[in-house]
Amino acid sequence: MLKALMMGLSLFMVACATTPPPQFYILEALSPVAEPPAAQAKNRQIGLGPISLPALLERKQIVTRSGNGVVNIAEFQQWAEPLKDNIAQVLRQNLSQRQPNNLIRAYPWSAYGTVDYRIIIDITRVDAELGQWTRLDVNWSVMSESTHTIIKNAHSTFQRKLDDSSYQAVVLGLSHLFSDFSDDLAQAIAEINGVRLD
What's the chain's average pLDDT?
86
Q: pLDDT > 70: what percent of the chain?
A: 82
In the prediction, which pLDDT does 197 show?
45
In the prediction, which pLDDT does 26 show?
97
In the prediction, which pLDDT does 175 show?
97
Residue 136 counted as domain residue: yes
Range of the domain at 86: 45-192
C-alpha 169, offset from chain centre: 15
Residue 197 counted as domain residue: no
Asked if residues 25 and 39 have their Cβ atoms less than 8 Å apart, the reply is no
Asked if residues 129 and 160 have their Cβ atoms less than 8 Å apart, the reply is no
Lowest mean pLDDT among 60-64, 68-72, 166-170: 68-72
3-state secondary structure (DSSP) of residue 4: helix
Distance CA 26, CA 21 (A): 17
Residue 55 counted as domain residue: yes
In the prediction, which pLDDT does 170 show?
97
* 7 pLDDT higher than 80: no
Asked if residues 98 and 36 have their Cβ atoms less than 8 Å apart, the reply is yes
> What is the band of 68 on the pLDDT scale with cuts at 50, 70, 90?
confident
CA-based angle 91:176:162, to the nearest 5?
Answer: 150
Residue 186 counted as domain residue: yes
Lowest mean pLDDT among 1-15, 42-56, 120-134: 1-15
CATH number at residue 64: 3.40.50.10610
Residue 163 counted as domain residue: yes
Distance CA 160, CA 58 (A): 23
**15 Cβ contact partners less than 8 Å away, ≥ 6 residues apart:** none
Residue 172 counted as domain residue: yes
**93 Cβ contact partners less than 8 Å away, ≥ 6 residues apart:** 29
For 168-195, the pLDDT digits (tens) are 999 999 999 999 999 999 999 888 876 4
Residue 73 counted as domain residue: yes
Mean pLDDT of 116-132: 95
> What is the band of 13 on the pLDDT scale with cuts at 50, 70, 90?
low
Lowest mean pLDDT among 36-45, 95-104, 114-123, 167-176: 36-45
Distance CA 116, CA 104 (A): 10
Residue 1 counted as domain residue: no
> How many domains does the chain divide into?
1
